[in-house]
Amino acid sequence: MFRVEASAITAESFAKEFGSKSEPVIVANALNHFSWPAYAPEVNQNGALPHWAFENLLKRFSETSFRAEAFDCSLQIYGNYMDNCSQDDAPVYLFDSRFVEKTTSENDPGMGADYEPPKLFGEDLFKLMGNKRPDYRWLIVGPERSGSTFHKDPNATSAWNAVITGSKGWVMFPPDVCPPGVYVSEDESEVTSPLSLAEWFMSYFDAAWAEYGPNSSSANNRGKMRVGVCHAGEIVYVPSGWWHLVVNLESSVAVTQNFASEHELVNVLRFMRDKPDQISGWSDDIHCGELYDTFCDVLRKERPDTLQRALEVLDRAPKRRMTESVWDQVTKSQAEKVDQGFSFGFDVDGEDVDGNGSEGGVE
């Protein structure tokens, strides 16, 4: 996966090299460059740790309830779980979209005051909808081996994911490549994938890398699979429509936001227009079938030129139909790996590999 130093890229160069090309990238040393309070060192008996290190969050919000997959629990209880989940095949992930509201009080400005969305990625046009915008930001906490299986981000948005502590391994495929082992319905409303991250890595990673990695024998597939490690202080950019899997290589605290800039606006509008039944993240009192018109009305008032450019492209583009993926390359030798244990296939101390097979990436 491409890497670039935060100090070496501007909003304009990001738009040219990554945003307009729908190209994933890891922005190194980003949180120091952006001077996020969340990443600022806080000295305690264990040395200097980021303000959002888990033990520091516990001091502020130990009794605050957060969503951890299918249930809610206090941060203290979740911390106890993280300390005792080493035998779990699929550790439970804390993934909360209301963390800013939950942590804001008269005595604490809350976690929303500790970071600012990077201007690097362009204007988030959903922000123009005010309180009618969909869920868009999440606090993510999890132990080693926790994470999320392959998915696309909601409503055809793009996303950035900033790691405060720990490190995360990423595997990505472009929109036109359904990940090996993942099966989707024709309209992509239903996705079936391996039950756990470990299952996917043991059963599919090697064959996927051979087929879609930088040394693939197929010129059409070569370089389409992107693999990278996002370390503490770094941000990864996930373009609209890209399939991605994320695994914590060590216990981690991170924050992520989905957004709709001019780069993905056509995709977002197409999704809202053509798949209103798949729209997610809005409150129950907002009718999803009306969101396309509502969003267009807001843009027509606030960003008319941007909307006009997007609609011109949208009107020209044919409606695309997705077909179900078939993957028949799981070999007997791969199946035997189940009994041999596994690692997640990331060299935490090494360099990431970009889609062209070279080390490092863009400087």
Mind listing the pLDDT tens digit for each residue in 300-325?
Answer: 999 999 999 999 999 886 665 444 33
Q: Distances in Å between the alpha carbon of 193 and those of 95, 161, 326, 334?
A: 20, 22, 12, 17
**Closest residue by Cα to residue 118 from 226, 234, 229, 17:** 234
CB 200 within 8 A of CB 194: yes
State residue 132's pLDDT score.
85
**CATH superfamily of this structure's domain 3-333:** Cupin (2.60.120.650)
Q: State pTM to two decimals.
A: 0.86
State residue 280's pLDDT score.
86
State residue 345's pLDDT score.
55
Each domain of the chain, given as residue ranges in start order, spans: 3-333
State residue 286's pLDDT score.
63
**Confidence check: pLDDT of 223 > 90:** yes
Secondary structure (3-state) at 255? strand
Q: How many CB atoms lie within 10 A of CB 86?
A: 10
What are the residues whose beta carbons fall under 8 Å from the beta carbon of 244, sequence distance 6 or more?
150, 151, 152, 170, 171, 172, 173, 238
State residue 164's pLDDT score.
99
pLDDT tens profile 168-218: 999 999 999 999 999 998 888 888 887 789 999 999 999 999 999 999 999
Q: Are strands 183-184 and 47-50 parallel, antiparallel or unpaired?
A: unpaired
Mean pLDDT in residue range 59-84: 96
Region of 64 on the Ramachandran plot (φ > 0 left; ψ -120 to 50 alpha; else beta) = beta
pLDDT tens profile 243-294: 999 999 999 999 999 999 999 999 999 999 999 888 888 766 566 778 899 9
